[in-house]
Structure 1
């Protein structure tokens, strides 16, 4: 009689051994769970915004730090009398040196992963921002979705201004940019990704929104600034800073800024003012949708840029006596909106070509993508050619709604 063969495995069947091994590994994994770079909240100083100014040594970095105890206070006020944020600053030769130097003043390590706003002073922006952008792009802790603003004055003063409604000034600035760029034509939101893309691509230069302090910057830094209905100091988005590569050249006004956003296909909604047919009063329309396409046509040895804007609008307010049931009136209003948009776009192009001589709309990049052979011929001379590049503007607007009443009651008002 043959004896049954034993398994070659010293501990019996491999099938029985494998579950035991798996359980052992799982048990060990429970003992070793955790992130290698885990940090406790009470060990970090969470930065909500950063500011950059020209300093005696090189650059002054200001960092706005959130006070978690004040933010989580459900009563809405400050029981301890402390501000919801604290501002630290340092002046050093480089950005990284300044940030590390701030650790001598802060009781916790600066944590930049929740950064929402970066403010750069106009004075520093005119000297060049490449060193700042280089640092921001290299830091592994930083996300790239924070907004970048140019201060019409000191960046530190902007960060030092206490704001109403939003306890954290950085949140106020972030939300203001987000809401304004969706509803008001002159405002353009620019994040780190946008800025780097425009800096490194040939035939493109950056546009960055501006911010200023309305009122007294000294009063803005005090708690009384948020204890009054009419705050002595407010933060206000104003203008678009125009760059040529990494150096700021100047400002676009509201009309030029709105035109710029039409060209860049950034208009989500805005208001267009105009005159009633016959010039008897004012009429306002709300742009509810807009789409812009850029095309290139070769004219001799130069490219010609064709800008096509298609938009839809609603009549928002009428300050004259017109009948919006009449097809001819609607057609005249559409033409009036077309003319207004065309003038805004033309104002923006003229400013970029004559005042700044900087291709902030990416005309060169459009030529590169759509006419690569032509671009290879003009690329070397593009900065010199840009001010003379011809263009065409085509605008078509459709009115969708005229409101709940077709005729204004203005004429019915008795003297």
Structure 2
């Protein structure tokens, strides 16, 4: 009896040990997969009796055939990716129709970016647009969300056959650490909270210019509608970065008042403190912005960088430029878009919760009339290795 039990135990152990050697049961042969690395969404107006809006979805595929195609000798005309588009009135049926055109199984777990076209973002709210992609289990939640100026599908095209636009867009966001003209990445996971908050917010905008993709400021998403309200250019986005104090690096180009020659202040650190003030029914804000940096470039060879007079002028010239950037963007978001995309409402909610409860329903409208005073203090801590 003991021998039988021992044999049974040994057989069980052999089976258990053998299971991992069988490989991955759910594995998929890579030759049979079409990896979706990027997706774009554009709105079309159908020529039907109902004038129904239709959605054009473009998927950027990498397959065993496309990978390396752009680098093979004698085949430089072949692109390293393949874009396939389908049009329909709902996302899932439209995507399923792509099965009729590709000989690979679509695999979206490596998707990097989702680009939404301008017309679609202005017409439909983003909650509707993104609902399927948020629900889809195969879609990577870390996927980047961008808004295209004009058609989104153009941003998934490149005139260079060895480039893969979806990968380029992802890599371009890494420049956030070195410029104030790029927003921190917004992913599918992060955007859910923004859409549910009822507050206005920003998304990175991108354009295709002569076959080359470029980040071009930010898209303003209105909180009440979750629709695109308009765009901020790169300079205006710089101003907002200073207000938020969330920039990690970047440059400020100023001009010495005495000589008129340019100088460049490089940001080493920045911080911003927003303070809300309430007097009766009157709301106002004070913003204190501080930064430390270095002189990265200057054209006045007659001056000594370490002389106090010159350093003071350089700080003042840089401060004047930052103040100009802030004034311009505040004018636009308050009076043109009437959208608080810079966190003033959140500061009021924290510091004066009772007042916030009264104004939160129509905060964007209230924000458009609120006085905002900004003070900028830049300090040059490093002069580089030059002595003149």
What TM-score do you get using the length of structure 1 for normalisation?
Answer: 0.82
Matched, 1:198 2:187: no
Partner of 2:130: 133
| Runs of 5+ unmatched residues, structure 2 | 47-52
| Runs of 5+ unmatched residues, structure 1 | 1-9, 216-232, 408-415
Partner of 2:232: 252
Secondary structure of the corresponding residue to residue 69 of structure 1: coil
Quick one: which of 42, 51, 57 aligns to 1:61?
57
Q: Distance in 2 between matches of 1:32 and 1:302?
A: 72
Deviation at 1:28? 6.6
Q: Distance in 1 between matches of 2:21 and 2:298?
A: 71
8 Å Cα contact 2:70/2:80 also seen in 1: no
Deviation at 1:53? 0.8
Quick one: which of 220, 243, 259 aligns to 2:221?
243
Partner of 1:97: 93
8 Å Cα contact 1:190/1:207 also seen in 2: no
Cα distance change, pair 362–134 in 1 and its aligned pair in 2 (3 A): farther
Cα distance change, pair 242–268 in 1 and its aligned pair in 2 (3 A): same
Secondary structure of the corresponding residue to residue 140 of structure 1: coil
8 Å Cα contact 2:33/2:63 also seen in 1: no
Cα distance change, pair 107–240 in 1 and its aligned pair in 2 (3 A): same
8 Å Cα contact 1:47/1:65 also seen in 2: yes
8 Å Cα contact 2:271/2:290 also seen in 1: yes
Deviation at 1:308? 2.6
Which has the higher mean CA deviation after the structures are superposed, 304-313 or 46-55? 304-313
Output one character per residue of 1:265-308: Cα deviation in whole Å (capped at 9) or x when no partner: 33121111111141431111111222223333323234433323
Cα distance change, pair 79–342 in 1 and its aligned pair in 2 (3 A): same
Q: How does 1:336-347 map to 2 (within 5 A)?
A: 336-347=317-328
Deviation at 1:133? 1.6
8 Å Cα contact 1:240/1:252 also seen in 2: yes
What number of residue pairs does the alignment pair up?
Answer: 376
8 Å Cα contact 1:205/1:362 also seen in 2: no
Which has the higher mean CA deviation after the structures are superposed, 380-389 or 68-77? 68-77
Cα distance change, pair 93–365 in 1 and its aligned pair in 2 (3 A): same
Quick one: which of 249, 256, 264 aligns to 2:244?
264
Q: Distance in 2 between matches of 1:252 and 1:84?
A: 33
Partner of 1:394: 375
Q: Distance in 1 between matches of 2:293 and 2:330?
A: 23
Q: Distance in 2 between matches of 1:267 and 1:31?
A: 50
8 Å Cα contact 2:146/2:203 also seen in 1: yes
Partner of 2:40: 51
8 Å Cα contact 1:303/1:390 also seen in 2: yes
Larger Rg: 1
Cα distance change, pair 71–97 in 1 and its aligned pair in 2 (3 A): same
Partner of 2:203: 208
Q: Distance in 2 between matches of 1:253 and 1:358?
A: 15
Deviation at 1:341? 1.7
Q: How does 1:235-314 map to 2 (within 5 A)?
A: 235-245=213-223, 246-314=226-294
Partner of 1:177: 173
Quick one: which of 274, 284, 309 aligns to 1:328?
309
Quick one: which of 354, 366, 382 aligns to 1:385?
366
Matched, 1:317 2:297: yes
8 Å Cα contact 2:237/2:329 also seen in 1: yes
Q: Distance in 2 between matches of 1:94 and 1:77?
A: 42
Cα distance change, pair 76–328 in 1 and its aligned pair in 2 (3 A): farther
Moved segments of 4+, more than 6 Å: 16-19
Partner of 1:119: 115
Partner of 1:348: 329
Deviation at 1:360? 1.1
Cα distance change, pair 153–38 in 1 and its aligned pair in 2 (3 A): same
Cα distance change, pair 18–372 in 1 and its aligned pair in 2 (3 A): farther
Partner of 1:153: 150
8 Å Cα contact 1:162/1:169 also seen in 2: no
Output one character per residue of 1:153-190: Cα deviation in whole Å (capped at 9) or x when no partner: 222222133337x62121122212322x2222222133
